[in-house]
Amino acid sequence: MHGYYQKNLKKWYKTLNSYMNYISYAEERQARQMIMRRRSTGQLKRSHLKTDQCKIER
């Protein structure tokens, strides 16, 4: 009986571990996407500012 519980516990730990890894991976990906979006919006704003400045200079 004791060995049965130990086996199941090991299996459970494996499952939990892989699940936690997956969650951390998903969170990391989400964070990266957010950073990329922020960067792209920042670049867009900068490029718009540049074009606006050029228009003003003309």
Q: Please give the C-alpha separations between residue 45 and each of 9, 36, 38, 41, 56, in angstroms, as whole numbers.
A: 53, 14, 10, 6, 16
Q: How far is CA 50 from the centre of its chain?
A: 31
Provide the 8-state DSSP code for 58: -
What letter represents residue 20's amino acid?
M
Asked whether residue 58 carries a pLDDT value surpassing 70, the answer given is: no
Task: State pLDDT tens for residues 29-57.
Answer: 999 998 888 888 777 777 777 777 767 66
Provide the 8-state DSSP code for 46: H
pLDDT at 15: 92
Model's pTM, two decimal places? 0.44
- Nearest 5 degrees, angle CA 27-CA 29-CA 14? 55
Mean pLDDT confidence for 9-17: 90
